[in-house]
Amino acid sequence: MNEVFYVLAPVLALGLIGYFATRFGFFLSSHRDGLSKYVFDFAVPMLLFSAVVELEPPKASATALFASYYIPLVVVFTLGLLISWLLLKRPVIESMVIGLGSCFSNTVLLGIPLIPRALGDDALFPLFLLISVHGITVFTAVTVAIEIARGRDAGLANLPKQVLSGLIGNPLIVGLGLGFLWKLTDLGIHPIAADMFHLVATSVIPAALFVLGSSLASYSISGSVGPALLVTILKNTAHPLAVFLLGSWLGLEMLWLSVATMLAAMPTGMNMYLFANRYQVSPPTATTSIFVSTVSSVITISIVIALLKSV
């Protein structure tokens, strides 16, 4: 549990700094809006662009690994969406964001530091295989689904135009699309540009955590507890359990099974807030969900590690 706490502590601390800076009036909503725009409209699309350009196809067969992780991811997303929509009576777009929070792991801040520490350096290869397509595929699928949902009222004839307009106006999709187009040129990324992307990468995570903490101080969480508990239960327990059961049934090698299970056990990532903020669908739900999922993961990840080591 100590290892998990030491990795989580700086993440929570930076969020708390943003929280108290806002509570005491040092960081205003106008400041948060500007920082949010930098993170979500400029920095993250730039990172997606560089990630796509640098993406290399796996040199080893990873079909069972991808199936073990991504089939449960789709199932958990669907469960989160349906429960929040049908039982919690949330709007469909907000339910999609809740579904995203229920299945999208915090891979960079927590997965990369924790998993090799728990499973050894051999875990890096399957870990990076999974992460290589994690954001790209989920971002694209959820964005398309949200844009379709937003375009329902435009009528069937205008739906394609509405969806296309929404996608073109989304900085995340623009970053992904330009990345794929640039990759087709085989020009790669110039070292100067690579250094620039590295500078952006070092700024995104602390800025996003600061914004998240600030948002938590600005919103009432009274109506967000139910969805936050749903996200936490699905993300921290149901997702890793489903991955372990399917991976075991598919006969996945134990190290790769452990990596996939641990990655699924990571708490909800910042991307839930990114989508909630982008589409203005209950940011309080996103901030509360991320906070509850992250704090409780100190216990749930420790349990997952102990169980995997006992198998």
Instruction: Tell me which range, 10-14, 242-246, 248-252, 268-272, is most confidently predicted by mean pLDDT.
Output: 242-246
* Local confidence band at 222 (pLDDT 50, 70, 90 cut-offs): low
Predicted pLDDT of residue 158: 60
Instruction: Tell me which range, 111-120, 260-269, 279-288, is most confidently predicted by mean pLDDT.
Output: 260-269
Predicted pLDDT of residue 21: 92
pLDDT tens-place string over residues 149-192? 776 655 555 656 666 666 677 777 788 788 888 988 888 888 99
Mean pLDDT across the chain: 83
Mean pLDDT is lowest, of 137-141, 160-164, 276-280, for 160-164
Predicted pLDDT of residue 81: 94
Backbone angles phi, psi at 106, to 5 degrees: -80, 85
Percent of the chain with pLDDT over 70: 87
CATH number for 89? 1.20.1530.20
Instruction: Tell me which range, 19-28, 47-56, 207-216, is most confidently predicted by mean pLDDT.
Output: 19-28
Number of domains in the chain: 1
Q: Which residue range(s) make up the domain with 292? A: 2-310
Q: Is the overall model pTM greater than 0.85, yes or no?
A: no
